[in-house]
C-alpha cells in the first residue's frame, strides 16, 4: 500500500498557493510596509489573511501587527491613506483606507482576563514572535513580514494547516485561561474550516468550559453566530455539546440529550435536531432566492425548534411518549435564551415565532384544511412564511420513505394552495374590507376600544370567507353591532 503523505510533502502545495497570493498583494500594502520600516517599525500581515492565503481562499481582511504604538501607527496611516479611524485605539488598533484597500494595524499585544472581569485587559507586547505566541491557534499564528514578504511560522502552523488540525501555540490550558472565548473559537473554526480539534485542545475545552461564564454574553453570541453561519454548523455544535461547552452557552441544546430513550419509544431528539439543521441549510437558496443562505434566523430556529421537549415529555399508558405543547414551551425557552445572549429583538422574535409555528402544518396531513385555515397559516407566519416552509420540510427526518413522501406531497399541496389563494386574494396583505375610519362612520361612534374589536371581527370574517365585498362587510358589521347593543 502507498504510504500516507508526510506533513512536509502535503504542505508544499499550500506553500505554493500562499506564495502566489502574497506576491499578488496590492502594491499599496507593500508601500505601507516600506513606510513603517522607514520609520523604524516592524509591520507584518498576520492571522486569518495568512491562513486563508495558504488555503487558496480570497484574502478579504488585511490585518497587520506592528511594533509601533497606536499613536505612531495613526500618524503613519494618516500619511498613507485617504482616510483613517481610531475606534479600536483602546485595543491598539488603527484602521485606514487607500482607494479600495482597507487595513487594520494593531500594536503587538496580549490579552488576559482579571479575576471577576468580563472584559479582557490589553497590554502591548514587544515582538512579533511574542504576539504570535499569544494567538489562539497555530494556524492563526503565522505572519508575513513587510515589505520583505518573509514568512514567519514559529509554531508550525503550516504543518497543522496541512493536517487540518487546530492546536494552540502554548498549552491549551494557558491559552484558554488567557482568553476563555478561544474555547468557542475552537468550535467556530472547526465549523468554518472543517478541521479537527487536537485531543489536548478538546480536553482543555471540557475542563475549562465554565471559564466562559466570565465572558460577556455579546462576545459569546458573536462566536455562536459565526459558527452557525459557517459551512458546517453541525460540526461546531457537536463539539460544543461533546465537550460540555454547550451546557454553559446553549444549555437548551445540551439538554436535548436527556430525551434519549434506551427503550426506543421515540426518536433521539438531539440527533434529530442536528439532522433538521443539516436539512434546513440544504434548503437555503442562492442570493436571489426566497431564503438566501446562510440564514441565521432559519438556522437558529432549526437548532431550537424542539428545545421544549425535555420539559414536556410524558410517558403515556401503553408505552407511548408525548410532548404536548412543546412548541409553545420551546418558543418561550428560545426567547429567553436569545435575550440572555443579547440577540436583537427582531431576531429573537422571529426565531421564537418559527419555533412556535413549526408544528402547525401537521394538522394539514390529510389535506383537510379549509381556505380559512390556509389564510390563517399565511397570516400568522407573515414575513416568516418562506422560512417556515423550509423549517417544516427540514423537520421531516423519518426513515420511513413512504411516510416521508406522503408528508412532502402534503406540503407541496399546501404551498400550491397558498400560491393559488395568493394570486386570487393578495393573501400576503389580508385586511378587512373596511378600515377604521369607515367603521366609525358606519357605526356613528368615535375612536375607542370598540373600533379595534370591530376591526378584528371583520378580519375574522375575511379569514373565514375570503373577499366578501364592502356591502357584505357593512351588513355583517351592522349585525355584529346590533347583537352587541342587544346584549
Give the DSSP H/E element, type plus range, for residue 95: strand 93-98
Cell 371581527: give the residue: 457
- For residue 170, count other CB atoms closer than 10 A to its CB: 14
β-sheet bridge partners, residue 150 = 145
- For residues 164 and 115, which has the higher predicted lDDT (pLDDT)? 164
Question: Please, are residues 95 and 103 in contact by the beta-carbon 8 Å criterion?
Answer: yes
Residue 82, CB half-sphere, CA atoms under 13 Å: how many? 7
Cell 484574502: give the residue: 59
Q: What is the homologous superfamily of the domain 7-163 according to CATH?
A: Beta Polymerase, domain 2 (3.30.460.10)
CA distance 337 to 71: 41
CA distance 197 to 325: 38
Of 33-47, 229-243, 328-342, 392-406, minimum mean pLDDT range: 392-406
Mean pLDDT of the chain: 87
What DSSP designation does 194 have? Answer: -
β-sheet bridge partners, residue 101 = 98
Q: What is the pLDDT of residue 111?
A: 60
- Residues 176-195 have a mean pLDDT of 95
- Residue 264: left if φ>0, alpha if ψ -120 to 50, beta else—which one? left
Q: Are strands 150-152 and 143-146 parallel, antiparallel or unpaired?
A: antiparallel
Share of the chain above pLDDT 90, in %: 57
| Cell numbers that stand for 101 in this block | 484597500
Question: Please, are residues 158 and 142 in contact by the beta-carbon 8 Å criterion?
Answer: yes
Task: Give the DSSP per-residue string, 43-86.
Answer: EEEESHHHHHHHTT-----EEEEESS-HHHHHHHHHHH-SEEE-
Listed residue (128, 133, 179, 134) closest to 156, CA to CA: 133
Per CATH, the number for 164-249 is 1.10.110.30
Q: Is 202 helix (H, G, I), strand (E, B) or coil?
A: helix
The structural domains of the chain, with segments of one domain joined by +, span: 7-163, 164-249, 280-429, 436-486
* Residue 296 banded pLDDT, cuts 50, 70, 90: very high
Q: What is the pLDDT of residue 263?
A: 44
Share of the chain above pLDDT 70, in %: 90
Where do the H-state alpha helices sit in 345-448? 345-357, 371-381, 385-394, 401-425, 436-443
* Residue 467 banded pLDDT, cuts 50, 70, 90: confident
The answer to whether the 7-163 and 164-249 domains have the same CATH topology is: no
| Cell numbers that stand for 219 in this block | 462576545
Amino acid at each position: 500500500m502507498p504510504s500516507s503523505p508526510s506533513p512536509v510533502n502535503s504542505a508544499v502545495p499550500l506553500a505554493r498557493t500562499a506564495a502566489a497570493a502574497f506576491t499578488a498583494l496590492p502594491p499599496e500594502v507593500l508601500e505601507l510596509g516600506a513606510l513603517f520600516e522607514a520609520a523604524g517599525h516592524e509591520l507584518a500581515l498576520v492571522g486569518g489573511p495568512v491562513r486563508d492565503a495558504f488555503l487558496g481562499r480570497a484574502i478579504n481582511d488585511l490585518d497587520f501587527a506592528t511594533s509601533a504604538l497606536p499613536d505612531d501607527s495613526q500618524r503613519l496611516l494618516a500619511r498613507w491613506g485617504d482616510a483613517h479611524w481610531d475606534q479600536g485605539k483602546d485595543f491598539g488598533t488603527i484602521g485606514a483606507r487607500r482607494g479600495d484597500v482597507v487595513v487594520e494595524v494593531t500594536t503587538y499585544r496580549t490579552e488576559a482576563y482579571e479575576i471577576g472581569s468580563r472584559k479582557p485587559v490589553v497590554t502591548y507586547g514587544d515582538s512579533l514572535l511574542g504576539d504570535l505566541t499569544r494567538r489562539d491557534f497555530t494556524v492563526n499564528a503565522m505572519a508575513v513580514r513587510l515589505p520583505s514578504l518573509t514568512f514567519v511560522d514559529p509554531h508550525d502552523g503550516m504543518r497543522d494547516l496541512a493536517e487540518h488540525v487546530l492546536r494552540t501555540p502554548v498549552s491549551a490550558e494557558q491559552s484558554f485561561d488567557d482568553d476563555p472565548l478561544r474555547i468557542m473559537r475552537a468550535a467556530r473554526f472547526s465549523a468554518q474550516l472543517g478541521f479537527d480539534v487536537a485531543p489536548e485542545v478538546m480536553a482543555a475545552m471540557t475542563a475549562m468550559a465554565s471559564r466562559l461564564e466570565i465572558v460577556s454574553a455579546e462576545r459569546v453570541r458573536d462566536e455562536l453566530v459565526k459558527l452557525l453561519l459557517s459551512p458546517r454548523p453541525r460540526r461546531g455544535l457537536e463539539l460544543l455539546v461533546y465537550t460540555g461547552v454547550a451546557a454553559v452557552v446553549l444549555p437548551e441544546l445540551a439538554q436535548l440529550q436527556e430525551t434519549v430513550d434506551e427503550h426506543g419509544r421515540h426518536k433521539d431528539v438531539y440527533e434529530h435536531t442536528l439532522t433538521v439543521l443539516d436539512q434546513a441549510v440544504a434548503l437555503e437558496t442562492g442570493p436571489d432566492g426566497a431564503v438566501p443562505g446562510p440564514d441565521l434566523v432559519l438556522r437558529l430556529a432549526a437548532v431550537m425548534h424542539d428545545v421544549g421537549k425535555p420539559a414536556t415529555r410524558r410517558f403515556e399508558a401503553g408505552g407511548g411518549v408525548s410532548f404536548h405543547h412543546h412548541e409553545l414551551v420551546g418558543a418561550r425557552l428560545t426567547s429567553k435564551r436569545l435575550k440572555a445572549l443579547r440577540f436583537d429583538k427582531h431576531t429573537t422574535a422571529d426565531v421564537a415565532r418559527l419555533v412556535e409555528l413549526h408544528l402547525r402544518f401537521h394538522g394539514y396531513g390529510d389535506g383537510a384544511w379549509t381556505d380559512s385555515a390556509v389564510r390563517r397559516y399565511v397570516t400568522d407566519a407573515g414575513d416568516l412564511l418562506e422560512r417556515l416552509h423550509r423549517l417544516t420540510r427540514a423537520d421531516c427526518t423519518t426513515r420511513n420513505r413512504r411516510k416521508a413522501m406522503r408528508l412532502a406531497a402534503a406540503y407541496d399541496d399546501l404551498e400550491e394552495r397558498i400560491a393559488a389563494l395568493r394570486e386570487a386574494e393578495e393573501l400576503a396583505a389580508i385586511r378587512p374590507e373596511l378600515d377604521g375610519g369607515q367603521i366609525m362612520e358606519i357605526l356613528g361612534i368615535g375612536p375607542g376600544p370598540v373600533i379595534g374589536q370591530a376591526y378584528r371581527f371583520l378580519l375574522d370574517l375575511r379569514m373565514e370567507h375570503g373577499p366578501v365585498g364592502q356591502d357584505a362587510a357593512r351588513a355583517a358589521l351592522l349585525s355584529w353591532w346590533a347583537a352587541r347593543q342587544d346584549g
